[in-house]
Structure 1
């Protein structure tokens, strides 16, 4: 089978296309014929060595993907050959990501795709959708699961609504009944956020963004999905209501955050930091179930019409796909494998 591998961390040039034997699933595992592989910032950061060292003599990148189960190992009962599925964390603690024609995964990292949901959608879930789900379910007074009506009567502020996690947060929050406000940096990104379903869009480079958010939510927002805490901490405290949660999933704009004690104390603000890889099995399972329910309801889509433009590459061009994500391409980068 064709696979992308690297045997040392570094720039995208360490990636190479090779032939490897077809792997066989062991107990509790399934083999996935990959149709589409999704690329996230975590993929190029891991490959570069920025966030981790290489734990295996050879590794295949990319955490997310979608395809068809074509073999099951002993003890697997909930999945069968022919099932269309999506996966996340394919390469977490393992050398076998989704940038290859077949990959072997633990069965609990694979979730069925509902009928009619494309492989493009499936490969775009994973890191963004699971992270967004977690961000939307950590509030003190909010739900621990998402479903229609779970966020009814609540206002969610999504920072960076044109990004992949921001897009997923908008779509999931809208499905769960929230009023969704998002901040963006340009008119083009504002159009994408509206296409995702945001009710109100604020360009933070114009006027007074805190006043604009407060105009929509005079009593304050219930939850912030935050991509840039170093830049936005002061703004967040100006717009949250008492007992609001600020869910931080990235460090865009800086690694250090200064938090003033008194304003946070007065509002009983909760800062919740999120990393999918240390979330825990219960949170991961809940996200997979709820995101799949949103798919069944037709509440989650990809492509420009859903606010998430797609940029495609061939498997042999995985290095260019990684470079596109590292360079900040807007939307989702997908690799056509199958």
Structure 2
């Protein structure tokens, strides 16, 4: 692709702005620096980042186990998710071309300089996915960790599908714990797109409105005085819930066991509320319950790519909208204010935090 007689992949400044940290700690360890723009090697792609997404995994990696903890590299560019435009490709890359709009997943995983908190990122081609023409960069930057995690959680059931499509979850009841979070939001959208009946639990009316906007048919507020969540779920699903997408297994273990059906699956993707959970072995035995823990970093690239393909189909069907009207408010920062973006995510803000890195 040519612009003004100059190949697009050559229209890159000799240096760029990037966010890096060289030690673990609070958001103040994030620094804005100038760095050279790198050329992609074999099976790599360089992307001009337009929008970067910030996830809890980003601030948890930045904090580490303790302030000052040694890093695997001298410094790290954070940001697992993002969207932008392909600038250059290395040898062996065939599924994207220079000029393509793309979204990224696990950009910073095991890489010092692959993260999306920079103007130009070089990362493995297998983590770069075409962004459908009508989808926005905001949507692309909001996929990655949340959408792939949600997809994985919805495709691990023993009696369920291993690939989602518009009728894959017909006659299936899905319970999403914490439907106002980014993963919960994506799980609601993908489950509805796949034909499921979706129940979600939230902590208050503001989050209830967001979960409803995302598409959940049944939104239950567990903080309402006198409410019997188990009874309400059982009224909706007398035979029990087929799949639970669980964000707080320690807190919800008893509830989950009370509503899961025989041979149902509980997909755990976070440890909100505690690291240790207690399970009633005999009752789980009797129901043949399956627990599936979900962590994208170690799930394998085949699972990531399979999820991305189906997610793109869902995008094409209009199933993964973002913004407050779709149940996921957006909070925006520029690259220089990445520390503020991290702090907002770390504070537990509801919605999706995005960093505007470059103009489209």
Q: TM-score of the superposition, structure 1-length normalised?
A: 0.99
- Aligned mate of 2:127, from 109, 124, 139: 109
The answer for the alignment partner of 2:105 in structure 1 is 88
In structure 1, distance between residues paired with 2:171 and 2:338: 43
> d(CA) in 2 for partners of 1:321 and 1:50?
21
Distance 2:86 2:217 in 1: 38
Structure 1 residue 50: Cα displacement: 3.1
User: Which of 37, 58, 70 is residue 87 of structure 2 equivalent to?
Assistant: 70
> Is 1:273 matched up with 2:293?
yes
CA deviations over 1:201-231 (Å, ceiling 9, x no partner): 0111121111111111111010000000000
- Between the aligned partners of 1:86 and 1:281, the Cα distance in structure 2 is 15
Counterpart CA distance in 2 for 1:218 and 1:33 is: 51
> How does 1:174-323 map onto structure 2 within 5 Å?
174-206=192-224, 207-323=227-343
The match for 2:162 among 130, 139, 144 is 144
Which stretch of structure 1 is more off in the superposition, 216-225 or 45-54? Answer: 45-54
d(CA) in 1 for partners of 2:71, 2:191: 36
Corresponding residue for 1:125? 143
Check if 1:157 corresponds to 2:175. yes
Cα distance in 2 between the residues matched to 1:180 and 1:230: 22
Q: SS of the counterpart of 1:246?
A: strand
Unaligned 5+ segments in structure 2 are: 1-15
In the TM superposition, structure 1's runs of 4+ consecutive aligned residues that sit over 6 Å from their partners are none
User: Across the two proteins, how many residue pairs are aligned to each other?
Assistant: 338
Give the superposed CA RMSD: 0.9
Deviation at 1:49, TM superposition (A): 1.1
Q: Which stretch of the first structure deviates more once superposed, 320-329 or 43-52? A: 43-52
Question: Offset at 1:77?
Answer: 1.3
- Conservation of the 8 A alpha-carbon contact between 1:46 and 1:53: no
Structure with max Cα Rg: 2
Distance 1:292 1:50, change over 3 A: farther
Q: Which residue is 1:2 aligned to?
A: 17
In the alignment, the residues of structure 2 paired with residue 203 and residue 209 of structure 1 have an alpha-carbon distance, to the nearest angstrom, of 8
What are the equivalent positions in structure 2 for 1:14-53 lying under 5 Å apart? 14-50=29-65
Q: Distance in 2 between matches of 1:38 and 1:317?
A: 13
Cα distance in 2 for residues equivalent to 1:315 and 1:152: 42
Unaligned runs of at least 5 residues, structure 1? none
Task: Work out the CA distance in 2 between the residues paired with 1:152 and 1:186.
Answer: 29
Alignment check: 8 A CA contact 1:31 1:69 kept: yes
CA distance in 1 between partners of 2:308 and 2:170 (Å): 21
Spell out, residue by residue over 1:132-160, the C-alpha distance to the aligned partner (whole angstroms, 9 max, x if none). 00000000000000001000000000000
**Residues of 1 paired with 2:128 and 2:208: CA distance?**
33
1:160-171 matches, within 5 Å, as 160-171=178-189
